[in-house]
Amino acid sequence: MTEPILSIQDLRVTFRSRSESVHAVDGVSFDVYPGETVGVVGESGSGKSVTMLSILQLLPQTSRVVTSGRVLFQGKDVLKASQRELRHIRGREIALIPQDPMTCLDPVLRVGGQLREAIRAHNAVPKAEQRRRGVKLLDSVGLPQPERQYGQFPHEFSGGMRQRAMIAMGMANGPSLLIADEPTTALDVTIQAQVMDILRAAQAETQAGLVLITHDLGLIAEMADRVVVMYAGHVVESGDVRTIFAQPRHPYTLGLLGSLPQTGGDQDWLRPIPGSPPDLARVPSGCPFHPRCLHSRGREICSTQRPELTPAGETGAHQSACHFANELDNETVHDLLKAAEDIQ
């Protein structure tokens, strides 16, 4: 296997205030390889977006943020990079496609002008060439009449069109790594499929690695090669997409899968995960999921010792941070999902 294009090693991000510290990311590690799609899933507040924003050092400068660990991009630790080096990496080597394109596009600048800005930030090319590239990018992401829409303002675009424009900006300089943060939020199913087809084609063209941050497990099943499941700032399970969906080995992953609506069978209710995500300033001792876990059954080790990621299958590719991952066979999985349903 080739070397990873991105290697996150024991990343920790803490937001500090006068009264408390919020551990938004606590010991996260995973790799992304060229041409690979890694899906990062978890509830709101699990640390998905903070993890990826910290890579590019895009967390608010006004925050009292303490970051540690290593983030190796093409072998270089970007957490130690200078601002000049970061300006070279952002947009050229690593592109971020944000969650809400309307708030990221400047409402008083034409879309074409914003595309030109993305191009000339890293390329000394004539204005005419910038325009040609911009129109070609809009055409490549499936926008009709790209010449006309190049001169339009963001408010003249629909939500799906704005998302495509953001993808075009992200691909403007042929990056080696794409980070897509909830790229299909608030889009209808048809537009979601079109946007993901565009992302897939863009990735295939450059063999870029893709990190897909989403709540949509259906999207993960369709797009991802590997899955990283996060909870309370921790990675609780990781593995290839088929294994995660067919043989999950962490109760939280089971809860996410069990809460999906079913199109067949006799299920009358969704199966929720009991309780609520923890306050990140007061994460429970031991396994952070144990207060909500139907599998811990009050066992002391769950509340006193934090489990580490360990192999959960025949190879080390599938890992779980659960003290009793080996007990989660198919029969136990069925029982846990039934218990969650009975809570209703």
Which tokens hold the place of 224? 């991802």
| 235/223 Cα distance (integer angstroms) | 20
User: What pLDDT is recorded for position 115?
Assistant: 93
CB of 248 closer than 8 Å to CB of 325: no
The single residue listed with the structure tokens 């899933």 is 41
Query: Is residue 161 classed exposed, middle or buried when 0-12, 13-18 and 19+ CB atoms within 10 A define those classes?
Result: buried
Asked which of 57-71, 235-249, 275-289 is least confident by mean pLDDT, the reply is 57-71
SS3 256: helix
Q: Of how many residues is the chain composed?
A: 344
Tally the C-alpha atoms within 13 A of residue 154's C-alpha that lie toward its C-beta: 19
Q: Is residue 336 very low, low, confident or very high in pLDDT (cuts 50, 70, 90)? A: low
Q: What value does the mean pLDDT take over residues 151-175?
A: 90
Taking the alpha carbons of 65, 70, 72, 76 in that order, is the dihedral positive or negative?
positive
Q: Is residue 340 very low, low, confident or very high in pLDDT (cuts 50, 70, 90)? A: low
What would the pLDDT profile of 196-227 be if each residue is shown by its tens digit?
A: 888 888 888 888 999 999 888 888 998 999 99
Q: Is residue 47 very low, low, confident or very high in pLDDT (cuts 50, 70, 90)? A: very high
As assigned by CATH, the class of the 6-224 domain is: alpha beta
What residue ranges do the domains of the chain occupy? Answer: 6-224, 234-342
CB of 217 closer than 8 Å to CB of 260: yes
Q: Is residue 163 very low, low, confident or very high in pLDDT (cuts 50, 70, 90)? A: confident
| 158/221 Cα distance (integer angstroms) | 27
Which tokens hold the place of 277? 């995500």
Q: Provide, rounded to the nearest whole percent, the portion of the chain with pLDDT above 90.
A: 49
CA–centroid distance for 286 within its chain? 25
SS3 306: coil
User: What pLDDT is recorded for position 287?
Assistant: 95
| 51/8 Cα distance (integer angstroms) | 9
Q: Is residue 296 very low, low, confident or very high in pLDDT (cuts 50, 70, 90)? A: confident
